[in-house]
Every structure is written in C-alpha cells, then in structure tokens.
Structure 1
Amino acid sequence: MNEITERDLLDFALLTDFESFLKHSMLTLNPGMPFLPNWHIRAIAYQLERVRRGEINRLIINMPPRHLKSITVSVAFPAFVLGHDPRQRIFSISYGSELSLKHARDFRSIVESPWYARAFSQMRLSRSLDDEATTTLKGFRKATSVGGVLTGLGGNMIILDDPQKPVDAQSKVRRDSLNQWFSNTLVSRLDNKETGAIIVVTQRVHMDDLSGHLMGSSDQWEVLSLPAIAEVDEQVPIGDDEFHTRRAGTALHPEHESLETLRGLQKDLGSYDFGAQYQQAPIPEGGATVLRNWLCWYDRPPERTTKTKVLLSIDAASKDGPQNSYSAFSAWQVQDGHYYLLNMERGRYNFPQLRDKALALAQRYEPTLIVIEDASAGIALAQELRSMGRHRVKAVPVERDKETRLFIQTSKFEAGHVHFPKDAPFIPDLLAELLAFPHGKHDDQVDSMSQALAHKFSGYTLDNLH
C-alpha cells in the first residue's frame, strides 16, 4: 500500500479547496507577502464554486477595493476552472487593456508554476500570448477590455472585473454606453445563453452603474454584497449550510483595514464616494428626498436667548434584537425659525437601556421638550419619563408614512433652516442615511429628524403635553 505523503495531501487540497488554491496563487504572485485568510474570501470562494458546479450562472460580487477581488475572481478562479476542465472557454474583461493584460500575466504565472503542473496534470497550454492562453484541449482564457474586439469569439464563461472607473461612472453617457454594450454585445458572446456563466465583480460607483442596472432589470442575479463596514447584522453563506455571522459596525477584514482606518477613509472621501465604493450603497446624485445642496453647516450654534428652545426627539424601536431597527435620539437648538442639530445617537437598546439613554441625554441638553413617537416602546417610555416629573414630554401620534413625514419637512431644508455641525463624528452615517432615504437600509435617524422638525413650539402648555 502506497504511503500518503504531505505533497499528496497538498495536491488534494489544491484540487478540492479553492481557498487553498488561492493561497498558493498569492504566494506565487507575491512571494514573501503573508496571506491573510478571512471569512469574506470563503464567502467569495463559495459563490464561485457554485458557478463552477453549474448551480448558478449569474453572479454579482460587490466589494471595496484592495480586498483581493481581482486576483481571486479574474486570475485564480479561471486557473482553477481550467485545471479541472481544460475545455472551458473563459473571457476575462476589465475597463482597460493595461489592467486586463496584467491579470493575464498573473494567470500565466500560476498555470506555469511547478505546483500547478503537478496538481493539475491534465491542464497544459498549447499557446501562450499576451492576451490569450490556449490549452491543449482547445479551452482558453482570453483577456480583453470593455469595448474590445470580440467578433467571432464565443465562450461559456465571462468574468467582468471593474468594468468602469469611478470617475467615468459619473457620466450618464458612459454609464449608458457600458450598460448597452453589456446587453447588446457581451451577452451574445456566450455559446449557450441558458447555461453560460457571467460573473461581475466590482465596487459600486453609482446607483445606475452596471451592478445597479443588472439588479434592477432582472431577478436572476445572485448578489454577494460585502460592505467595508457592516450596516446590519447578517448571515453570510460561506459553504453549503454554513454561514458567517457578521455584526453591524464591524470591518470586512480588520487585519487588512481596521475600523479606525475605514472611518478615516470615510471622512476623507466623503459620504458619497465612501457609500458607493466602500459600502456598496451609492447615494442618489445630489440626494433623493433631501438634496445635498440644501444642506447647511455651522461651526458653533448661535448664542442662546430667552427665546431659544431645545428639543430632544426620540424614535424608539420596538425591540432590542440584532435584526430590529435602531432607536435614534436627536438633540436640537431651535432659534428664530432655524434648527441646529446638536447631536445624533442611535443604538439597539432594551427598555431599561432606552430609558437610561433618554435620561442621560435629557440631563446633558436640558431640553425644553422631549418628543417621542407614540408607538411601540415609545408609548411606555413617554409614560415612564412623565411619571418621573423631571421633563416635559409629548407623545407624537404616527399619522403618515415615513416618506410623507420627511417630504413635508423638505421646505425647511431647501430654505436653509436646518443646520448640521461640521466634522461631528456622527455626520457621515447620518448623511448616508438622509441623502439615500427612502432607498437606504436604515431610516431611524431620519424619523427622529422628521419628528423634531415637525414640532411647533407655539401654543403648548403642560396640560396638552400628556
């Protein structure tokens, strides 16, 4: 009986486990550089393996830059596929020829390495050109750029990697041109439109970029969206019946880019670019309901007078579980018809924590009035705060939907009556939610704002606050 060696075990791992294959590919391309494994690589590898097995044939991977997306999808994966089946015909396409050719050179470095030749003994190249590598069984990996010549060529897998530069995506003409080229030219290169596979891997650059266009026009796409900072708790598939639990507020790959580093990038890039390229959640150009050019800023709020009012607005979530909405607290200085946002906080709280947070903020800002949505946990919170007798509290009935409540207040934004503090740490998350509303993942901060802006101070007494 032959003894199984470590080399045999390695060859078996390279054949059966794409993550192991990727690690050896990285060591070939970047000798001496450490390979930092992470769950997001397993998530990508799982979806790619589903493509290779024929379980899905339309895949979109949206993720931030510099997280191994190109080497994983455009370089290592075609080498893995052709290693298992040298008859496969693969197009790998990027926005520019220089990038496409670099990926092609990296691909050749992998398939011409000794470890690859040993593990995949049936895969051999019969021709190796700058832009095309052909196998002895007539399979190939063809590299080209968006808009490149594809006439007369056909294949069974298309990989589209970063099809458009972020700056080009800001042009409607160029966005539309790419989307039309994809639909009218690229898809026709599949030999079989039913079984042929298309993989799009890119960072989001605009609401109407190729990812947005494809997701909006068809429900056949499997989408793996990997924001740099998790916005919600989620279960991400990393294998058959295997999931990674990702908590809201965590970085995608902390060993590679820490949460602190990402927050710095968010501040440097601004909410628009960071929301698109890093969070995979592009904000509508100029904003959706509230427009970006309506926003006003202040360094310090004006000196308070006898007419100054302070308002604490609370939007209380119904439950504190990880899948439920946030509770949001906004503090405002209201003066001469202008609203100055002093602070915005949000979190998931059980009822005692919700009450304690409200009391702490009330002690800090000494509000003229606390307004609380008269629904869910807000009902009990308003009753308990009133029973303490320390603050004036008004329960606000929910009379309209969220979109209408904000829309009614847009005239205040447009008139320049709503002011935000410059450089406050909560501003990036707040603007991402406000400018995307109602298309974003969250609306709790917006609800707290709408409630505050809707309140009229004139004419109330302690009696009608109950």
Structure 2
Amino acid sequence: MAERARQHSLAEWARRALRPAGQRPAAHHKLLLQRLEHVAEGGCDRLMVLMPPGSAKSTYASLIFPAWWLHRHPRSSVIAASHTADLAAHFGRGLRNLALENKAFLGFELQRDSHAAHRFATDTGGEYFATGLGGGITGRRADLVLIDDPIKSHAEADSAAHRDLVWNWYRSELLPRLKPRGRVVLIMTRWHQDDLGGRLLQNGDDWTVLRLPALAEADDPLRRRPGEALWPQWEDRAALERKRAVVGPRVWAALYQQTPRPDGGALFRVTRIDVIEAAPAELRSVRAWDLAATAAGEGRDPDWTVGLKLGRDAAGRIFVLDVVRLRGGPHEVADAIVRTARQDGRSVAVGLPQDPGQAGKQQVAWLTTLLAGHRVVASPETGAKLTRAGPVAAQVEAGNLSLLRATWNRALLDELREFPQARKDDQVDALSRAFAMLAQAPAPARRLHVSLMAR
C-alpha cells in the first residue's frame, strides 16, 4: 500500500477515526492516548485505566488503540478480553470495521478468510482475538493483552466466588498467554475494593495507574480544580451531582470516583491519620508480627506475614515507623524476622503471636532461640479481630497516630480503610498487637533540662 511505510501517531489516528462521527478527543481522552502510546512504545508494560461510566474509555482503549497497535506492530498478536463473549465480539466488530474503512491509513488489510467478529488476521502477519471472561485461549499467545470491563454488575462484584473466578482466570489462563516483554492494559470502572483492579494493586505488581474520577479530587492528573467534572461538554457538574444523589454513596465512590468502599462503616477513620517526613528521636518502639507460612502459588492467595514497627513518644502519641510484608514458607519467614530484628536493634522488643496447641509453642520456642539477645514477647491471640483493633482505632479517631512516609503507606492505609471487610487484615493484626505491647510498657521518660543556676 502507498501509505504502508509511514507511521502515524496515536493522536493523529484517533482524530481520523472519530472524524466521520463528528467527534474529537476531550482533555481526558488526550491524556489516555498519551498513556496508551507510552505502552506501545515500550515505556510501560502494565497500564490500569480507571474511569467512570460514559467517559468513552472503551472507544479509545478497545477500538482506536488496538487498530493503531497493529499499525505500529504489524506482526504482533492481540488478545482482548471482556466480561462476556458478546461484549468482546462487540469490540471486535467495531475494530474490524475501523480497519476495513481505514486500511490505507493503517497500512494493513484483513485476510480474506477473516469474517468472524471476534477474530481476524492481517496481511502483515498481525492477529486479533477477542474473548469473554473464562473463554478458551489455550494455544494463543499475545504481545498485547487488553482487558475491558471484567465486571458487568454489582451482583458479580459482590460475589466473592465470582471475584475469585476473575482473578484465577487472569492469573492462570490469560497472563500465561503473554509473550516475553508483552504488555497488559486494563480498562475498567471500579465496582468493589476486591475487584480485579483492587487485587492487582494489592498484589504488589508494578502498575501505572490512570485514575480519573467523575468529579476531581486533590492532585488531579488533569489539573482540574476539586469538584470539576471530567467531561463537562458531555455531563457537567450539576448533572453529576444529581446522579450522585440518586445512586448513593457506595455506588458513587466506586463507579464514579474509582475509590470503592466496603458496604457499611469502617473501623478506622484514615482521614485522621497524618503522614510525617521524620519521626521524633525519643521513642519507645516495638516490632509486632502477624505470621503466615504459606508461599504464594498457583491457585493460592495466601495471607501476608507482616512485621509492623510502632513507636510511642513521651506524650503518648504513636507512630508507625516501618512495615515489612512477605509471602514465604516457614524458613523464609524466620529469616525475615531475624534479619529485621538485627536491623531494629536490641532496644526494640519483638512481638510474636502464639498459635494454640503444641505446634504453636514449638514455633515460638524456635523463633525465640533464633532471636537470642532480643526481648521477645509471645502471647496467643484472644478475642475477635474487631475487639483487638478497637484500642488502636480509638487512637486513630483521636488523631493520635502518624505514619512515617514510605512506600508501604498506601497498602497499610487501604487495609485500614477497608477493615473489617478487607480481603486481608494481616497489617491490622500486627498493628493491634504492636499497640497492645506499647500500652503495657511505660512511656519513654521526658528529658529534664536543669539549668546550672538551679544546681
């Protein structure tokens, strides 16, 4: 083809693709196009796009982008997944029509036997395959995986079994189809704190996240003022506020602001927790552990082993100084505990939970031997988790807890925010134990400054 040698930018292609419909990219679409082009150029291999319904995110990410991807990577393969086969076929049909109508601009044609809505091949060696969640993809490989709307309803989002199904399909079927140096783009509206986006963020994988709420919040990626609408030409603030009053706070927080919250009140008011740049010098500190001894693996989503370091000053204010999290077997956990204790120093007491029964006693005895020279405080967990967390939650309510700024802040704050409905509560358990240890120990003495004249 005459234009095959020329490569066009994604923004240029988007303007051309939208022109027949009399449309053009809004500000949030332009930002999305920049992030998608960054993926295509190799600058990012995991992109998560979180936007509200009606923001046209699928038009750009699931129709315009894959056509341009095959323009820039003519011999590559794309797998596109959605919550149902019908939706996947809908995207595939739209993409196929775009490619047919713009073959000279894109530089490829569809092979003559490519008639299905959900799959086609190009004359340059490219392939596209669309599938619904759980659909068979065995034997296929992908340079690009697109996941658009993996959840279709609140009923699915609220079902733990369905969330597990989505997660396991992503981990065990879809992700293994990715070629080395392949890329994944997830486009979704958040439904639940434990949906696919939530699990991926909680799992510790390195994702670039583009989160654009319907009404702007602080530090908005588009530099909107707080409260400004995402796409005022389509739906202004007044219309969004009217919708907000009808859908209620839970739906609004999830679908429109992309910050899903548990159904019901959370115990910890995280808005009262401040983040500080440096901790006071005079602190009495402890490190409490919540233990799990199962490594992550196929079909498993085990708890985390968490070691949380907590300090208290002479005035009684408490500070979370450090959080260590790992998933591993018993020996990996033991090595982490010993290594962390050496880093903390012998002035920091080590708190360990003791499981009931002889095995729990033997585990504590073994760890105590490894921690020779350190003060070890071991005790069984008693009472419900909510009861154990109550005292430290009261400190949070009083605005008496601070975090030392670090990379672990977000994971801890997310878990505190969602407790007791959170999928994991290992950090909360470690925090509760650490606070109980500090509550039983005397506060550090205040230094007395005595003048020479008073001597």
Q: TM-score range by the shorter chain?
A: 0.5 to 0.7
Q: Which of 245, 248, 260 matches 1:270?
A: 248
CA deviations on 1:58-101 (whole Å, 9 max, x unpaired) are 11001001111111111111100112222110011110111111
Q: Which of 225, 238, 241 matches 2:211?
A: 225
Q: Residues 437 and 58 from structure 1, CA distance in 2 versus in 1: closer, same or farther, beyond 3 angstroms?
A: closer
Identity among equivalent positions (%) equals: 28
Q: Residues 399 and 155 from structure 1, CA distance in 2 versus in 1: closer, same or farther, beyond 3 angstroms?
A: closer
Aligned to 2:15: 23
Are the equivalent residues in 1 in contact too, given 2:48–2:210 (CA < 8 A)?
A: yes
Q: Which of 153, 157, 162 matches 1:169?
A: 157
Q: Residues 130 and 163 from structure 1, CA distance in 2 versus in 1: closer, same or farther, beyond 3 angstroms?
A: same
The answer as to 2:38 corresponding to 1:50 is yes
Aligned to 2:121: 134
Equivalent-residue separation in structure 1 for 2:12 and 2:47 (angstroms)? 22
Q: Which letter does structure 1 place at the counterpart of 2:199?
A: H
Q: Residues 188 and 169 from structure 1, CA distance in 2 versus in 1: closer, same or farther, beyond 3 angstroms?
A: same
Shift of 1:284: 1.7
Are the equivalent residues in 2 in contact too, given 1:289–1:407 (CA < 8 A)?
A: no
Q: Which moved more, 1:127-136 or 1:61-70?
A: 127-136
Aligned to 1:209: 195
Equivalent-residue separation in structure 1 for 2:208 and 2:246 (angstroms)? 32
Are the equivalent residues in 2 in contact too, given 1:86–1:137 (CA < 8 A)?
A: yes
Q: Which of 183, 196, 208 matches 1:197?
A: 183
Aligned to 1:383: none
Aligned to 1:87: 75
Q: Which letter does structure 2 place at the counterpart of 1:119?
A: F
Equivalent-residue separation in structure 1 for 2:316 and 2:262 (angstroms)? 27
Shift of 1:408: 7.3
Q: Residues 36 and 404 from structure 1, CA distance in 2 versus in 1: closer, same or farther, beyond 3 angstroms?
A: farther
Aligned to 2:304: none
Q: Which moved more, 1:39-48 or 1:399-408?
A: 399-408
Q: Residues 208 and 232 from structure 1, CA distance in 2 versus in 1: closer, same or farther, beyond 3 angstroms?
A: same
Q: Which of 229, 234, 246 matches 2:224?
A: 246
Which ranges of structure 2 fall in alignment gaps of 5 or more residues? 275-314, 320-391, 400-413, 419-455
CA deviations on 1:1-40 (whole Å, 9 max, x unpaired) are xxxxxxx9xx89x943323322332345xx3xx4253211
Shift of 1:287: 2.7
Aligned to 1:39: 27
Q: Which letter does structure 1 place at the counterpart of 2:131?
A: T
Shift of 1:191: 2.4
Equivalent-residue separation in structure 2 for 1:105 and 1:74 (angstroms)? 11
Equivalence map 1:22-421=2 (5 Å): 22-28=14-20, 31=21, 34-113=22-101, 116-128=102-114, 129-167=116-154, 168-192=156-180, 195-234=181-220, 236=221, 244-289=222-267, 403-405=393-395, 407=397
Which ranges of structure 1 fall in alignment gaps of 5 or more residues? 1-7, 237-243, 292-314, 318-396, 410-435, 441-466
Secondary structure of the structure 1 residue equivalent to 2:142: coil
Equivalent-residue separation in structure 1 for 2:214 and 2:251 (angstroms)? 13
CA deviations on 1:280-330 (whole Å, 9 max, x unpaired) are 000123232179xxxxxxxxxxxxxxxxxxxxxxx9x9xxxxxxxxxxxxx
Equivalent-residue separation in structure 2 for 1:126 and 1:190 (angstroms)? 27
Secondary structure of the structure 2 residue equivalent to 1:66: coil
Equivalent-residue separation in structure 1 for 2:395 and 2:153 (angstroms)? 34
Secondary structure of the structure 2 residue equivalent to 1:186: helix
Are the equivalent residues in 1 in contact too, given 2:100–2:109 (CA < 8 A)?
A: no
Q: Which letter does structure 2 place at the counterpart of 1:41?
A: H
Q: Residues 267 and 87 from structure 1, CA distance in 2 versus in 1: closer, same or farther, beyond 3 angstroms?
A: same
Aligned to 1:371: none
Q: Which letter does structure 2 place at the counterpart of 1:213?
A: R
Q: Which letter does structure 2 place at the counterpart of 1:140?
A: E
Equivalent-residue separation in structure 2 for 1:90 and 1:112 (angstroms)? 17
Are the equivalent residues in 1 in contact too, given 2:110–2:120 (CA < 8 A)?
A: no
Secondary structure of the structure 2 residue equivalent to 1:79: helix
Secondary structure of the structure 2 residue equivalent to 1:191: strand
Equivalent-residue separation in structure 2 for 1:37 and 1:124 (angstroms)? 27
Report how many residues are paired. 287
Shift of 1:437: 9.9
Equivalent-residue separation in structure 2 for 1:100 and 1:120 (angstroms)? 22
CA-atom RMSD in angstroms: 3.0
What TM-score comes out, normalization by structure 1 length?
Answer: 0.57
Are the equivalent residues in 2 in contact too, given 1:93–1:144 (CA < 8 A)?
A: yes
Equivalent-residue separation in structure 2 for 1:176 and 1:122 (angstroms)? 39
Are the equivalent residues in 2 in contact too, given 1:15–1:21 (CA < 8 A)?
A: no
Equivalent-residue separation in structure 1 for 2:130 and 2:254 (angstroms)? 27
Shift of 1:407: 4.9
Equivalent-residue separation in structure 2 for 1:173 and 1:162 (angstroms)? 18
Are the equivalent residues in 2 in contact too, given 1:169–1:209 (CA < 8 A)?
A: yes
Q: Runs of 4+ in structure 1 displaced over 4 angstroms?
A: 397-403, 405-409
